[in-house]
């Protein structure tokens, strides 16, 4: 399976973060580790961080405590973090979430959602993370791990955008 081999080969350590031209985030419905359906529609109007990761990926694992802290800190400001686990079993993900006190939604990613976010070639490595604004537009993408304080700066630009300049007539 292309999806499995791609992620097994490309667990990132290299970072590339950049704002992207705003474009609509794909809609998705995936299952959590308990088999319950979770839909992106549930997060309409929120700032959503979508993080493609795996339990076996060291850079992915290094970011999780920061995501846990950010989810706690900004939940009331409308932040939702969604971890999309790739190439893992539900049992591994469920145990990992419990052991690491993950306080945000985790779902089981599939090849279709990886292509929907990453284009025809899918996601090229993990962790790969997208920031989606309150209007449902992807506005930032990072590949590789980033320290919590650096990611928080990116996130705050979307959570608390500067006021729009008013035009006078």
What local confidence, expressed as pLDDT, does residue 117 receive? Answer: 95
Q: How many CA atoms lie within 13 A of 54 on its CB side?
A: 21
- Residues across the chain: 169
- According to DSSP, residue 136 is labeled S
Q: Measured between alpha carbons, how far is 126 from 85 in angstroms, rounded to an integer?
A: 10
Q: Measured between alpha carbons, how far is 139 from 49 in angstroms, rounded to an integer?
A: 10
Bridge partners for 80 per DSSP: 48
What local confidence, expressed as pLDDT, does residue 44 receive? Answer: 96
What local confidence, expressed as pLDDT, does residue 15 receive? Answer: 54
What CATH homologous superfamily does 2-159 map to? Answer: Glutaredoxin (3.40.30.10)
Q: What is the pLDDT of residues 116-142, one digit of tens each?
A: 998 877 788 999 999 999 999 999 999
Q: What is the pLDDT of residues 101-110, one digit of tens each?
A: 999 999 999 9
Q: Three-class SS of residue 127?
A: coil
Q: Which of 44, 64, 76, 53 minimizes the C-alpha distance to 126?
A: 53
Low-confidence stretches of the chain (pLDDT beneath 50): 1-10, 12-14, 169
What local confidence, expressed as pLDDT, does residue 3 receive? Answer: 46
What local confidence, expressed as pLDDT, does residue 49 receive? Answer: 98
Phi, psi angle pair for 49, to nearest 5° = -105, 120
Q: Which of 36, 79, 30, 77 minimizes the C-alpha distance to 52?
A: 30
Report the sign of the C-alpha dihedral through residues 90, 118, 25, 129, in that order.
positive
What local confidence, expressed as pLDDT, does residue 154 receive? Answer: 93
What local confidence, expressed as pLDDT, does residue 145 receive? Answer: 95
Cis peptide before 132 (omega within 30 of 0): no
> Model's pTM, two decimal places?
0.86
């Amino acid at each position: 399976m292309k999806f499995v081999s791609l992620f097994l080969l490309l667990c990132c350590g290299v970072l590339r973060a950049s704002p992207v031209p705003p474009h609509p985030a794909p809609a998705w419905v995936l299952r959590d580790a308990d088999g319950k359906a979770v839909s992106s529609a549930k997060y309409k109007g929120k700032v959503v961080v979508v993080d493609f990761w795996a339990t076996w990926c060291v850079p992915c694992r290094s970011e999780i405590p920061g995501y846990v802290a950010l989810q706690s800190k900004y939940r009331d400001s409308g932040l939702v973090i969604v971890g999309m686990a790739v190439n893992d079993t539900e049992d591994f993900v469920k145990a990992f979430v419990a052991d690491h006190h993950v306080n945000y939604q985790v779902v089981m990613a599939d090849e279709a959602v990886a292509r929907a976010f990453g284009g025809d070639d899918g996601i090229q490595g993990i962790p790969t993370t997208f920031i989606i604004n309150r209007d449902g537009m992807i506005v930032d993408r990072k590949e590789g791990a980033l320290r919590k304080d650096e990611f928080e700066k990116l996130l705050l630009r979307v959570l608390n955008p500067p006021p729009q300049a008013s035009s006078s007539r």
